[in-house]
Copies of this chain bind each other. A is one copy, B any other.
Amino acid sequence: MNFEYYAPTKVVFGKGSEEKTGELVKDQGGHKVLLHYGSGSVVRSGLLDKICQSLEKAGLSYVMLGGVVPNPRLSKVREGIQLCRKENVDFLLAVGGGSVIDSTKAIGYGLANEGDVWDFYERKRQAEGCMPLGAVLTIAAAGSEMSDSSVITNEDGWIKRGYSSNYCRCRFVVMDPELTYTLPDYQTQSGCVDIMMHTMERYFNLSDNMELTDGISETLIRSVMKNAKILKQNPTDYNARAEVMWASSLSHNGLTGCGTGGGDWASHQIAHELGGMFDVAHGAGLAAIWESWARYVYREAPERFAGFASRIFDLEEKDTETLALAGIEKMEDFYRSVGMPTSLKELGVEPTEAQIHEMAEKCCFFGCRTVGVIKRLDAADIEEIYRMARE
């Protein structure tokens, strides 16, 4: 039950909070800022202009680098490192969602360490620092704004890898729920799955769990499910956007992992390979995989799955195994109700046997590791889960 908890990111939450960005950067001692962002939507919405004005008002100068894509690319990270070196940038500001924040973190590693930044993601060596960064969040999903992790895709072989350390934690994050009003429904729902899964990955484990952590996790999962349905009907419901946005941070800042021994994380690893090979939305990929993973492993921890079923869905069954399976089915029903895929086919992906084999091998680092803790999965297990998830 021993654990460490460290979530030093300052959260500034609410309507209009993006106007404080300049002052927040200044408080952190920044002078020359990299403004890193993704697509044109932050330009079109006028958000980028607002942030620039806020930086100027605080007396700060900045350079801009857009073009971050979902499953953010190593080439963009390298471009950012080069630009920041040339421009003597001393603070990094991400304006976007998890992909932009992850790309910013990787740039920060590259600037604060000698040598090739990809080394860290390949686990060849450990980072010894990261340039200070902050974020203006526009997508509630990845939780990268309070997490210690970043995930980058190397186009050379389409390998998607994560690297975690406390160095890359955001100094601050600005969260205005209104900034997420214009997200398309599919992306909103995909974000909600991602949020739930960050808690569910931690929830499913073989430790003696703390009931306080379980209670917080169950509250969070139920709240996101409820508000995902509200947003399906009304994407500009402020309260629902706010609940989901705050849940995205709490789901990945470590709070729901206290006393869980770390959690399972196999679904994430398995879905990452889909993201690397087929460039699918991360949350949707998780939705398409989770039930197959759950059906493959639940017999290793039937009580845990049964507890999930009874406390998330208020289900009652005399038999533990029946209850566990009923909970998995209910989760599938929920995903369908908000338009999320529950199979690879629904996700729009039909991998060949060769592709399944390749993804499973990559996932296990070609035999160097297993994934998951509920059941330690090797490449053969993972291939079977991909097959089960086909339709």
Residues of A whose CB lies within 8 Å of any CB of B are 1-8, 10-15, 17, 208, 210-212, 215-216, 218-220, 222-223, 226, 239, 242-243, 246-247, 250, 255, 258-259
Contact = CB atoms under 8 A, between A and B. Distances in A.
Nearest to A242: B1
A3 B212 CA distance: 23
B242 A210 contact: yes
B212 A250 contact: yes
Number of this chain's copies in the assembly equals 2
A16 B213 CA distance: 21
A1 B17 CA distance: 12
A212 B258 contact: no
Contacts of A4: 10-13
Given A2-B17, A7-B7, A212 B243 contact: yes
A220 to B, nearest CB: 7
A128 to B, nearest CB: 14
Given A212-B219, A242-B259, A246-B258, A5 B14 contact: no
Nearest to A244: B212
A172 to B, nearest CB: 9
Contacts of A258: 13, 246
A21 B118 CA distance: 34
Contact of A14 (B1, B15, B216): B1
A94 B123 CA distance: 38
B6 A10 contact: yes
Most interface-central of A4, A5, A223 (chain B CB within 10 A): A5
Most interface-central of A1, A15, A226 (chain B CB within 10 A): A1
Contact of A15 (B2, B12, B212, B215): B2
A295 to B, nearest CB: 29
Contact of A243 (B5, B8, B210, B222): B210
